Amino acid sequence: MTTVEEQQRIQTKFQEKMNQDELLNCMRCGFCLPTCPTYIESGYQESHSPRGRIALMKAVVDGLIEPDEDFERSLDLCLGCRACEPVCPSGVNYGHLLEEARDIVNQNKQFSMPVRVVRKAVFKELFPHQNRMRGLTGLLGFYQRSGLQKLARGTGIMKLFPDSLATMEKVLPNMPTMKEMKNRPEHLEAIGVKKQKVGFFSGCLMDTMFLETNNATMKLLQLAGCEIVIPKEQACCGALHGHSGEKDGAKELARRNIKAFEDTGVDFIITNAGGCGAFLIDYDHLLKDDPEWKDRAQAFADKIKDISQILVEVGFHEKVKLELPNQILTYQDSCHLRNVMKTASAPRTLLQAIKGTQYQEMQNADRCCGSAGIYNIVESEMSMQLLDSKMVNAKATQATTIVTANPGCLLQMKLGIEREGLSSKMKGVHIVDILLEAVKE
């Protein structure tokens, strides 16, 4: 809870820092309402819609309301999926407004002791340090392989955790070993004729917990004729920081990444996680007030491209024969890949190119699954409500495989499958994993 003094400080900062032109740019037409998952799931509450949230931010700036607990609740419940942006005729950058508002609130309030400790540990001590990410993944791997996992499940100790967390434990991928995580390539040649020279943004979670998916991504790039540079100085993209009101931490990571790729001479920087890609492509906005970094950030952002997009652009699916045993595939959009990176048709094009499979579009595939970074942990109730709606649509496709393009979405889909008791009939996969599986060499 914020104190009166904290509220006053937040209000002053809102007046100083919020982009007033952008706030005024919202003409309140309401076109965003039908696309907002929390507006719909909350039973059409305007305070949980983009138009409502913008009106609230503006009201704090105008001094009509104080940034009280209800106001914070409205910001907290936003998934940040940014589905409101492509439909906004006035082109309001809602995501930027949200990020700024969250940053102001979080920087000007005192969190309770335990929350402070956790935030510091996560944002400052863990994610910016790839060696520590490896350490944590190693521990999880030890848990899975040593028999501890069996023990935990057998003793029923997992029942002590909240439902979603206990299920989440079950759907985590098999963790790589420390050795696998340490010996990472820094340069790979194209297989066949070289068409492009690309950088690969390996990410923090992707290069630890989802190491196999990263390996698959690089393999596909090689097959597509890409020479790959993987600078080892790169770091976590900072999305988690940015979305949680830790903008300074995000900026620090952004500078590290820009520097890491700056002199590599690559045509594009490839990502395989929609959430990271969307944050990387926004570095120009993040560093817009930093004269030394502004242009460098722009140059970096201009090179960001999702793996699906580049594969389609170089005609990978036409050149390489893709085939799998008979099955129905469906695709769940990564919100940030779709709404921010504007990549929606490429993944579908690739999946439809796999012989032997049928592609079935899911109703509302473009609606957030409720994963949204750490949203499914901190806003578990709304997240599960969204997931339940998602699974109704997923089941209706009769698909045996749900394909996603972001690690958070992937875990959430696996969680949904587990919760529905469908793990024997349905699986969740990352698009690069299924593509590599389909490659017939």
Partner 1 sequence: MLSSTVKAQIISIVSASNFDDTKTGRLVYSYDATPNFQSMPDAVVSPRNKQEISEIVKLCNEHKIPIVPRGSGTNLSAGTCPTEGGIVLLFKHLNKILEIDEENLTATVQPGVVTLDLINAVEAKGLFFPPDPGSMKISTIGGNINENSGGLRGLKYGVTRDYVIGLEAVLPNGAIIRTGGKLAKDVAGYDFTRLFVGSEGTLCIVTEAILKLIPIPETKQTMLALYQDLEAAAKSVSKIIASKIIPATLEFLDQPTLRVVEDFAKIGLPTDVKAVLLIEQDGPLEVVQRDMARIAEVCKDQKAVSVQIAQSDAEAEALMTARRSALSALARLKPTTILEDATVPRSEIARMVAAINEIAAKYDLNICTFGHAGDGNLHPTCPTDSRNLDEMARVEKAFEEIFEKAIEFGGTITGEHGVGVMKAPYLELKLGKEGVAAMKAVKDALDPNNIMNPGKIFAKDSRKRVVVSK
Q: Which residues are near partner 1 by CB under 8 A?
A: 21, 24-25, 27-31, 33-34, 43-44, 46-47, 49, 52, 55-56, 59, 64-66, 68, 70-71, 73-74, 88-91
- Residue 185's alpha-carbon distances to 170, 214, 315, in angstroms, are 30, 11, 25
Structure tokens that stand for 344 in this block: 């929606």
> Residue 235 Cβ, how far from partner 1 at the closest point, in Å?
35
Taking each continuous run of H as one helix and of E as one strand, the counts in the chain are 26, 9
Query: Quick one: 12 or 90, whose CB is closer to partner 1?
Result: 90
> Which residue, 92 or 235, has its beta carbon nearer to partner 1?
92
Amino acid letter, 423? S
| Residue number with CB closer to partner 1 (101 or 269) | 101
User: Euclidean distance between the first and final Cα of the chain, in Å?
Assistant: 59
Are 332 and 370 spatial neighbours (Cβ–Cβ below 8 Å)?
no
Report the relative pairing of strands 187-188 and 226-229 from DSSP bridges. antiparallel
The distance of closest approach from Cβ of residue 304 to partner 1 in the complex, given in angstroms and rounded to an integer, is 21
Cβ nearer to partner 1, comparing 77 with 236: 77
Q: In what order do the strands lie in the sheet with 196-200?
A: 187-188, 226-229, 196-200, 268-271, 304-306
Residue with tokens 């949904």: 416
Angstrom distance (rounded) from CA 254 to CA 240: 12
Compare residues 28 and 150 and give the one whose CB is closer to partner 1: 28
Q: Which residues contact 286 (CB under 8 A, 6 or more apart)?
A: 238, 242, 247, 250, 251, 254, 297
User: CB under 8 Å to 267, separation ≥6 — which residues?
Assistant: 196, 197, 198, 303
Least separation in angstroms between residue 36's CB and partner 1 is: 10
Least Å distance, CB 342 to partner 1, is 11
How far apart CA 239 and CA 251 sit, in angstroms, is 10
Q: How far is the CB of 54 from partner 1 (least distance, A)?
A: 10
Give CB contacts under 8 A, 24+ apart, made by 375-381: 375/79, 375/80, 376/164, 376/168, 376/408, 376/412, 376/415, 377/164, 377/165, 378/76, 379/76, 379/77, 380/162, 380/164
Closer residue to partner 1 (CB): 327 or 352? 352
If the CB atoms of residues 56 and 335 are measured against partner 1, the closer one turns out to be 56
- Provide the minimum distance between the beta carbon of 66 and partner 1 in the complex, in angstroms, as a whole number: 7
Three-class secondary structure assignment of 10-62: HHHHHHHHCCHHHHHHCCCCCCCHHHCHHHHHCCCCHHHCHHHHHHHHHHHHH
Q: Which is nearer to partner 1, 48 or 296 (CB)?
A: 48
| d(C-alpha 405, C-alpha 382), whole Å | 22
84/372 with CB nearer partner 1: 84
Least Cβ distance, residue 44 to partner 1 (angstroms): 4
